[in-house]
Structure 1
Amino acid sequence: MKLGDYLAKELVLPELASGTKSDVLKELIAPVGVKYPEMDTDQAVRVLLDREKLGTTGIGDSIAIPHGKLEDLEQVVVVVGRSLKGVDYDALDHNPCSIFFLVLAPEQVAGMHLRVLAQISRLLKDEEFRKAFMEADGFESLWQLIKGV
C-alpha cells in the first residue's frame, strides 16, 4: 500500500496559519469541503474534536495525526498540513506540532483506516523524512516529497 494513493494534490497545505488545535482542524478540513462538497465539514470537525477528547493525536516529535470516521464517506481521505511556526496541540511530549496528517475514513471500513494510520506512523518515524518535510520549499516541493510515499 502506498500512502500516495490516498493523497490529492489539493489536500496538501504547506503553510497552515492557525494557532490552536480546533482552528488547525477546521483549516485542514476546509479544502476537503471544496473537493467533496457533499461532505458535512462541520460534522467532520466535530468528529475530530470528539476523538481528541479521548486522547490527543499529537504523538510527539512535532507530529499530529488527527483521525476519525464518518458515516457518509465513500473512501479514505488524507489531508497533509505543515505549520512552520508550530501549533500548541496538547501533544504527548508537550511540544508544538508542525506536521499534520489528517485521516478521515468511512464508518464501515476499519481495516483500511488502520492500515493508512500505520503507514503514516511508519513514514513519520523516519527522521530524514520529517526533516525533508519541514524543509521542503513551498507547495510543489512538499507535494513531490509526499506523493510517492
Structure 2
Amino acid sequence: MKISEIIKEDCVIANLSASDKPGILAELVEFLDKKGVVNDKQSLNNALLEREKLGSTGIGENVALPHAKMEGLESIVAVFARSIDGIDFDALDQKPVHYICLLLAPASSTGLHLKALAKIARLLKIESLREDILKAQDETEIYSLIVEEDAKFI
C-alpha cells in the first residue's frame, strides 16, 4: 500500500486555524464536507469525538491520527493537516500536535484501515520528515515530502 493510495494531493491542509481538539476535528470534517465526502457532518464529528473519549489518538511525537468508520464510503479517505503552532490533543507524550491525519474507513472495512493507520504512523515517526513538513511552504510541498519519504520504503 502506497501513501498516495491513502492521502490524495487535494486532501492536504497546510495550516489549520482551530486551536483545540474539538475545533480541529470540526475543521477537518468541514473540509471533507466541502469535498463532497461527508453525507452527515454531525454524525461524523460525533463519531470522531466518541473515538477520542476511548483514548486520545494523539500517538506522540507531535502526531495525531483521529479515525472513524463511516457508512456510505467505498474506500478509505484521509486528510493530512498541519498545525504550525501545535495544539493540545491530549497526546500520550503530552506534546502539542502539529501533524494530524484523519482517516475514515468504510463501515464494512475490517483490516484495511488498520494497515493504513500503521502506514501513516510509521511514516510520521521519521523525525526528519516531520521537521521538513513543519517548514514546508504549502500543501503541494507537504504532499511531495510525504510521497517521497514513502517511496523510500518500496
Deviations 1:2-53, CA, capped at 9 Å, x for gaps: 0111222232100001001010001112121122255212211111100000
Matched position secondary structure for 1:59 = strand
Q: Which amino acid aligns with 1:42?
A: Q
Matched position secondary structure for 2:91 = coil
Q: Alpha carbons of 1:38 and 1:81: their partners in 2 closer, same or farther (altered >3 Å)?
A: closer
Stretches of 4+ moved more than 6 A in 1?
A: none
Matched position secondary structure for 1:48 = helix
Q: TM-score, normalised by structure 2?
A: 0.91
Whole-angstrom CA distance in 2 between matches of 1:56 and 1:127: 21
Answer yes or no: is the 8 Å Cα contact 1:58–1:91 preserved in 2: yes
Whole-angstrom CA distance in 2 between matches of 1:96 and 1:8: 25
Aligned-residue offset at 1:139: 2.1
Q: Which residue of 1 aligns with 2:50?
A: 50
Aligned-residue offset at 1:123: 0.5
Counting matched residue pairs gives: 149
Q: TM-score, normalised by structure 1?
A: 0.93
Q: Which amino acid aligns with 2:32?
A: V
Answer yes or no: is the 8 Å Cα contact 2:16–2:24 preserved in 1: yes
Answer yes or no: is the 8 Å Cα contact 2:88–2:95 preserved in 1: yes
Whole-angstrom CA distance in 1 between matches of 2:103 and 2:44: 11
Aligned-residue offset at 1:140: 2.1
Q: Which residue of 1 aligns with 2:115?
A: 115
Whole-angstrom CA distance in 1 between matches of 2:132 and 2:27: 23
Q: Alpha carbons of 1:38 and 1:21: their partners in 2 closer, same or farther (altered >3 Å)?
A: closer
Give the stretch that moved more between structures: 123-132 or 82-91.
123-132
Q: Which residue of 2 aligns with 1:136?
A: 136
Whole-angstrom CA distance in 2 between matches of 1:84 and 1:124: 16
Unaligned regions of 5+ residues in structure 2, if any?
none
Could you say what the CA RMSD is over the residues aligned between the two structures, in angstroms? 1.3
Deviations 1:45-103, CA, capped at 9 Å, x for gaps: 11110000000001111110001111222210010000000111111111210100110
Unaligned regions of 5+ residues in structure 1, if any?
none
Q: Which amino acid aligns with 2:111?
A: G
Identity of aligned residues (%): 39
Whole-angstrom CA distance in 2 between matches of 1:137 and 1:16: 14
